[in-house]
Amino acid sequence: MSIGALMALTLVVPPAGAGPTSAAAAVTTHAATATVSHATSSVVPSRYVCTTVRSASVTYSCVIGHSVGGRAIVAQRQGSATATRVLVVVGQMHGEEWPGPRSVDVVRSIPTPTTASYAIWTVRTMNPDGGAVGRRRTNHGVDLNRNFPNKFKRMSDSGPRALSEPESAAMARFLTWVQPDLVVSLHGFTTAVDITGGGVRAAWGRRFSTLSRITPAHVVPCGGPCHGNMTDWYSATSKVHGVAFTVEMPRSSKVARACGVPGHRRGTPIQCVAWAAAYLAPRLPA
Ligand SMILES: [Zn+2]
């Protein structure tokens, strides 16, 4: 997309200090149906309620949906308003997997220049009901990583149909709108960066592995073949050739060790993963 076209779009964000408000008055179309672009340079969908965050790096925060239990699913954006490189970090899909949200907290604490050419969106949890009680599944008993459209198969914990759940539907809408170059989906079931399938996704996965010092693996356990998982779905449907991969974080994430991110010699896996994500964001393809 040309810079001119980017500039022609309007970023609708409430002024600093404003309370929760809707951008609906200034937006008439859902951005997911608009010209393919990085949404950080586009209008905010009218369904989202966004507020400005008083922070050096976080520009604004949007409620992108709600869980079955009515809890907000929140995405925060830090970095450039006209980014040509966009990273999304999803901290938690399975509510008992706790390292990812803490890694997102670290990402959010890293200053991200608003004058740079990149932006980072973080979703601390897309399963706030499960996260509140330390439970893998949603209030509907659904494993959200079985509910996306890619190779969806009806199983005991998949939900009745693809995107039947408000949590997965919200995330699918969000990713379809943002069209990130890279999505890093954090989990805590085992220790691995998923490089299944080879190609660009595996290349980025290997690079992330080198930086975070989390071992690459060709298969991340899905309890069998992966049906309906988010990363395969996004990698198969991205309109900007974006890719997504899973990072399984160790349960021993509180123990510091050497990590591979330049400028950071030692850190916990929570820190190393966050630093790796922040390091990669400005190095994504424009
Ligand atoms: Zn998981």
Q: Which residues surround ligand 1, an ion (CB under 5 A)?
A: 94, 97, 187, 189
In the prediction, which pLDDT does 114 show? 78
In the prediction, which pLDDT does 9 show? 28
**CATH code for position 152:** 3.40.630.10
Domain span holding position 172: 55-283
Q: What are phi and psi of 183, to 5 degrees?
A: -120, 125
pLDDT lower than 50: segments of the chain: 1-36, 41
Has residue 271 been placed in a domain?
yes
Has residue 65 been placed in a domain?
yes
Has residue 13 been placed in a domain?
no
Distance from residue 134's CA to the centre of ligand 1 (Å): 12
Distance from residue 100's CA to the centre of ligand 1 (Å): 10
The model's pTM is 0.85
Has residue 220 been placed in a domain?
yes
Has residue 1 been placed in a domain?
no
Has residue 36 been placed in a domain?
no
Distance from residue 222's CA to the centre of ligand 1 (Å): 9
In the prediction, which pLDDT does 198 show? 87
Number of domains observed in the structure of the chain: 1
Has residue 119 been placed in a domain?
yes
Question: How far is CA 185 from its chain centroid?
Answer: 6
Has residue 33 been placed in a domain?
no
Distance from residue 176's CA to the centre of ligand 1 (Å): 21
